[in-house]
């Protein structure tokens, strides 16, 4: 769409052409509402370029041969109240400095990740249901730094959240539960901050840190996981913030130095 503004509402869009996105937004403030979008070849919706700032609202975005929504090249935009499902790669992929807001969406049954944030991707993901994806519910890697807020991330066939390869990110006030591996996995110089989260009933640990991973967990409930609260590998630095007195703003930042496995990890409420 080579225009600064357009309103597209109530269409069924089925992409059948090779090497084409169904909806391609390289610029402008396009509003896409109440559409049903699927693709036989590439991603269903592409948002790219620093002037691209669309609004995608109440759409069904599904069964794409690549991502449901693909954001790159410093693009922005708002995606809200959408169902994004059953796409072949990341249901939503954010990379190359893109900084969209994804809110009040259901992101599920993806053949890979629910949301993949890579290559310096940013973005805010809030109040979303992310579930039933074949890889992690959210994966953050290669220097990306998103904000994940008030999301429910569950029933992934791998980790709830994976943070790798110098990924960062702030994960706060989320529920991460019932995932096949760890609630949150951190590795390869990744260093996220996790606070005020409920990380429960995952088959492995609440938080698994290995291969030079790092991070900080503050005021989280890490109870009722299959292999306990923590597994901290060698050469990893993880800090947990413990409130000494809930009536005072007095806190103790403690470094977790020992390796904890299923044999000795205990449930903790940080």
Per-residue model confidence as pLDDT tens digits over 180-222: 999 999 999 999 999 999 999 999 999 999 999 999 999 999 9
For residue 261, being part of any structural domain is answered with: no
Largest Cα separation within the chain, whole Å, is 62
Would you state the pLDDT for residue 166? 97
Q: The domain containing residue 34 runs over which residues?
A: 5-135
Would you state the pLDDT for residue 18? 87
For residue 265, being part of any structural domain is answered with: no
For residue 268, being part of any structural domain is answered with: no
**Whole-number Å distance between alpha carbons of 100 and 124:** 6
For residue 270, being part of any structural domain is answered with: no
**Whole-number Å distance between alpha carbons of 186 and 194:** 11
For residue 233, being part of any structural domain is answered with: no
pLDDT band at 9 (very low <50, low <70, confident <90, very high): very high
Pull the structure tokens for residue 262. Answer: 């299923």
Q: Report whether pLDDT(253) > 90.
A: no
Would you state the pLDDT for residue 256? 59
* Domains held by the chain: number: 1
For residue 92, being part of any structural domain is answered with: yes
Question: What pTM was estimated for this model as a whole?
Answer: 0.91
Pull the structure tokens for residue 172. Answer: 């706060």
Would you state the pLDDT for residue 19? 86
What is the arrangement of strands in the sheet containing 101-103, beginning at the earlier edge strand?
5-9, 29-33, 55-57, 78-80, 101-103, 124-126, 147-149, 170-172, 193-195, 214-218, 237-245, 250-256
């Amino acid at each position: 769409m080579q225009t600064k503004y357009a309103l597209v509402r109530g269409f069924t869009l089925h992409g059948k052409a090779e090497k084409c996105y169904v909806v391609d937004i390289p610029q402008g403030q396009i509003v896409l509402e109440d559409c049903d979008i699927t693709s036989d070849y590439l991603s269903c919706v592409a948002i790219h370029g620093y002037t691209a700032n669309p609004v995608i609202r109440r759409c069904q975005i599904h069964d794409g041969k690549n991502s449901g929504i693909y954001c790159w090249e410093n693009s922005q935009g708002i995606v809200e109240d959408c169902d994004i499902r059953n796409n072949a790669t990341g249901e939503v992929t954010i990379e190359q400095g893109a900084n969209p807001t994804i809110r009040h969406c259901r992101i599920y049954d993806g053949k890979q990740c629910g949301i993949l944030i890579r290559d310096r991707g940013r973005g805010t993901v809030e109040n979303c249901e992310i579930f039933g994806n074949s890889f992690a519910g959210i994966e953050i890697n290669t220097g990306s730094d998103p904000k994940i807020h008030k999301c429910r991330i569950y029933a992934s066939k791998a980790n709830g959240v994976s943070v790798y390869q110098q990924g960062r990110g702030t994960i706060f006030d989320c529920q991460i539960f019932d995932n096949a591996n760890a609630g949150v996995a951190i590795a390869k110089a990744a260093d996220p901050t996790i606070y005020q989260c409920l990380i429960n009933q995952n088959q492995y640990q609440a938080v698994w840190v290995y291969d030079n991973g790092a991070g900080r967990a503050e005021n989280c409930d890490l109870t009722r996981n299959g292999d306990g609260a923590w597994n901290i590998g060698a050469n990893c630095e993880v800090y947990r913030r413990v409130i000494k007195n809930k009536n005072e703003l007095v806190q103790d930042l403690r470094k977790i130095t020992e390796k904890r496995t299923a044999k000795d990890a205990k449930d903790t409420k940080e």
